[in-house]
Structure formats: structure tokens, C-alpha cells
Amino acid sequence: MPKVIATIQKIPYRIEILSATKNVIIADESLDKGGKDTGFSPKELLAAALSACTAATLRMYAERKGWEIAEIKVETELTEADNKTTFSRRIEFSEKIDEEKKMHLLHVANACPVHKILSNPIEIKTEIL
């Protein structure tokens, strides 16, 4: 299962995130929130996870089908209002896609693992050491 470690030290809101496979990304808050804006905000990372997973899932499907699609672009916006979080996702393909393929690709996009996680009930268990 995926596991990450986030560490924050004395630099305000700069967070180093290390994966189990030793990949590193930096998260930070925007200037208006006291950060230095040197990385994605935590909410941007959440939206990025959905975009990245959707793009990879669509790429895998297109390759299995032998469809020539040079570029897949997935834009995800996270908004919060009235105690509800909405992910608005827009998918663009470099080639013209007919309506039948679009419907298949929408189904595939909705089957990406991160989409499934975000669409199901979520439980967060926390232990303080």
C-alpha cells in the first residue's frame, strides 16, 4: 500500500514528502497563508493525484485498445462550499475523439483508482506517538 512521510521543520509551511520508494516532493502554502509558495499546497496535491491517476489510467486503456492519442491533458479543480467538496475534472485529447469513444473514456476515467477512493466513504485513523 502507498505510504508517505511528511516532515516540516523551521521553514514556515515548507513540507518535504518522501515516498517509500524514496521519491521527494515539496509542499508549501501560498504567500498569503504565510508560506513561500515553493511547492504544491496540500489541496493542490489532492487534485493532482486525481489528475495524474486519471491521465495514467486513460493512457493505459488507449494503449491496450491501440488508439493513437499523442497527449492526454487532465485539469482538476477542487472547490469547497456549503460543507461539500467538489472535484471538477476536464479531460482533453490531442486528437479528435468520436462520441462513442468519449463515453468509453469517461467510464475509464471514473474507474481510476484515485477516483474510486475519493468516491467511496473515507476513514482516517490517527495515532499520536
Map out the domains of the chain as residue ranges: 4-33, 42-119
- CATH code: domain 42-119 is 3.30.300.20
Each residue's pLDDT tens digit, 81-116: 999 999 999 999 999 999 999 999 999 999 999 999
Q: 101: how many CB neighbours lie within 10 A of its CB?
A: 16
% of the chain exceeding 70 in pLDDT? 100
Return the bridge partners of 119, or none: none
**Residue 63 above 80 pLDDT?**
yes
SS3 track for the chain? CCCEEEEECCCCCCEEEEECCCCEEEECCCHHHCCCCCCECHHHHHHHHHHHHHHHHHHHHHHHHCCCCCCEEEEEEEEEECCEEEEEEEEEECCCCCHHHHHHHHHHHHCCHHHHHHHCCCCCCCCCC
